[in-house]
Structure 1
Amino acid sequence: MAKCLSSICAVNHVVPGTFLQGVLSMPARRALEKEKIDSLEKLSDYSEEEILQLHGFGKNTLKKLKIYMHEHQIYFKEFKE
């Protein structure tokens, strides 16, 4: 009988960033990671329009993110053209 019940793959496959895990989908989280956004404070340096330009972000994802940010009293910067 096997001594370990957990899969080798599951044990060795650890995702390095857990920022916004459970809040946003993986494509959206990867887009933030690619831009080196790993905290709400860094996220607040961007406007909603800039975040919507990232691959993996749409209106629903942005809405979830805004709700989460509001709960933590962090907001997007104002968009200036």
Structure 2
Amino acid sequence: MTKKEAASPGERWPKGVAKPAQRALVAAGYARVDQLANAREADLAVLHGMGPKALDILRDALRQSGKSFRG
């Protein structure tokens, strides 16, 4: 993922995260990508609409901001 594709801190979701995954995140109580540093990747993976591609994009976006999923 290039910097252009990554979400900046406080931005909602990076480019490439599909709408079903975005809706799943919002339904789970997340409003921005930086909030996902408080989430476990395994917990997000079981959300309806969340797929491996979305998780990869979100993981990369967190990594670019110096963060990662919790545990």
TM-score (ref. length: structure 2): 0.73
Q: Does 1:68 align with 2:61?
A: yes
Query: Identity over the aligned pairs, expressed in percent?
Result: 23
Query: Residues 12-51 of structure 1: matches in 2 within 5 Å?
Result: 19-20=12-13, 22-51=15-44
Which has the higher relative contact order, 1 or 2, with Cα contacts under 8 A spaced 6 or more apart?
A: 2
**Cα 1:76–1:21 shift into 2, 3 Å:** closer
2:51 to 58, 67, 79: 58
Structural RMSD (CA): 1.7
Q: Tell me, which stretches of 5 or more residues in structure 2 are unaligned?
A: 1-10
**Cα 1:20–1:41 shift into 2, 3 Å:** closer
Distance 2:13 2:48 in 1: 16
Q: Tell me, which stretches of 5 or more residues in structure 1 are unaligned?
A: 1-17
Match of 1:11 in 2: none
Distance 1:40 1:25 in 2: 14
Distance 1:40 1:22 in 2: 11
TM-score (ref. length: structure 1): 0.65
Rg larger in 1 or in 2? Answer: 1
Query: In the TM superposition, what is the alpha-carbon distance from 1:38 to its structure 2 partner?
Result: 1.0
